[in-house]
């Protein structure tokens, strides 16, 4: 028996009903939230693997949509209101929250969510209000994050290659952003298979072409991109 769509609709009692977006262009503040809180319900009931599965499904739904590469989440140019009920506001909106959680950590992320809700309870809000709440809770400026994920179409599409420098005991990693919708500035985790464990390293990808030298204790047998699934992306890795 599936719980759908019960967690999604229950989440709307907080995000959508109690706190309502002031404009249809900010629809993600209800539908993205309800979609992500449904995924959080799955995480609570079935563990982190269920959350990762939920978000992978959301990514697939969004990336396969005809508007995925051409329209942003906040899209004043899309004036037909029913057309806004699309995976950009639902699934990509959920991913905006998931990535924000990954960047800020659980404590600051959920503190920001509660601050946003308590401030605008029984009222209306816009995306800037949510951004202000998250900045206040985390102490981080989030202009770049909100601009690229909500006002810019698409997602980062990475072509990645790596090689091992035996003399320096370093993995040399090259990451190219190949999307045509604009560059993204995002942290990324790389997992290097070293003997029987994953050596995790966090890098930041900002440019069209990015080079990294990553010291490791021994030559890795493989490299995994974003193994815990915190980044909405496409990635092709060539060893």
Strand-strand pairing, 19-21 and 123-125: parallel
3-class state of residue 187 by DSSP: strand
> Quick one: how many helices (H) and strands (E) in the chain?
7, 9
Q: Do residues 64 and 55 make contact, with C-beta atoms less than 8 angstroms apart? A: no
Return d(Cα 205, Cα 28) in angstroms, integer: 26
Tokens of 170: 């370093």
Q: Can you list the alpha helix ranges (DSSP code H) found in the chain? A: 6-11, 28-46, 48-63, 93-104, 106-120, 127-138, 143-150
d(CA 72, CA 78): 10
Tokens 């995790």: give the residue.
200
Q: 40, 5, 36, 34: which is closest to 18 by C-alpha? A: 34
Given 3, 4, 9, 207, the catalytic residue = 9
Catalytic (active site) residue 9: yes
Is the dihedral angle over the CA atoms 43, 237, 239, 102 positive or is it negative? negative
Beta bridge partners of residue 162, listed in sequence order: 173
Catalytic residue numbers read 9
């Amino acid at each position: 028996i599936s719980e759908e769509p019960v967690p999604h609709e229950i989440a709307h009692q907080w995000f959508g009903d109690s706190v309502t977006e002031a404009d249809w262009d900010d629809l993600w503040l209800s539908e993205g939230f309800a979609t992500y809180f449904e995924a959080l319900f799955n995480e609570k009931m079935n563990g982190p693997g269920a959350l990762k599965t939920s978000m992978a499904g959301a990514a697939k739904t969004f990336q396969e949509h005809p508007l995925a590469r051409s329209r942003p989440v906040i899209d004043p140019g899309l004036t037909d209101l029913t057309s806004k009920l699309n995976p950009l506001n639902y699934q990509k909106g959920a991913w905006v929250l998931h990535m924000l959680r990954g960047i800020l950590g659980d404590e600051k992320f959920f503190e920001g969510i509660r601050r946003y809700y308590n401030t605008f309870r029984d009222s209306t809000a816009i995306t800037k209000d949510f951004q202000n709440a998250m900045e206040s809770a985390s102490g981080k400026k989030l202009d770049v994050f909100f601009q690229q994920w909500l006002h810019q179409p698409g997602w980062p599409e990475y072509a990645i290659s790596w090689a091992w420098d035996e003399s320096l005991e370093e993995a040399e990693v090259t990451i190219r952003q190949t999307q045509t919708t604009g560059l993204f500035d995002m942290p990324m985790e790389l997992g290097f298979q070293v003997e029987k464990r994953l050596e995790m390293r966090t890098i930041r990808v900002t440019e069209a072409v990015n080079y990294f030298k990553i010291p490791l204790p021994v030559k890795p047998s493989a490299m995994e991109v974003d193994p815990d699934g915190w980044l909405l992306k496409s990635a092709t890795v060539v060893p």
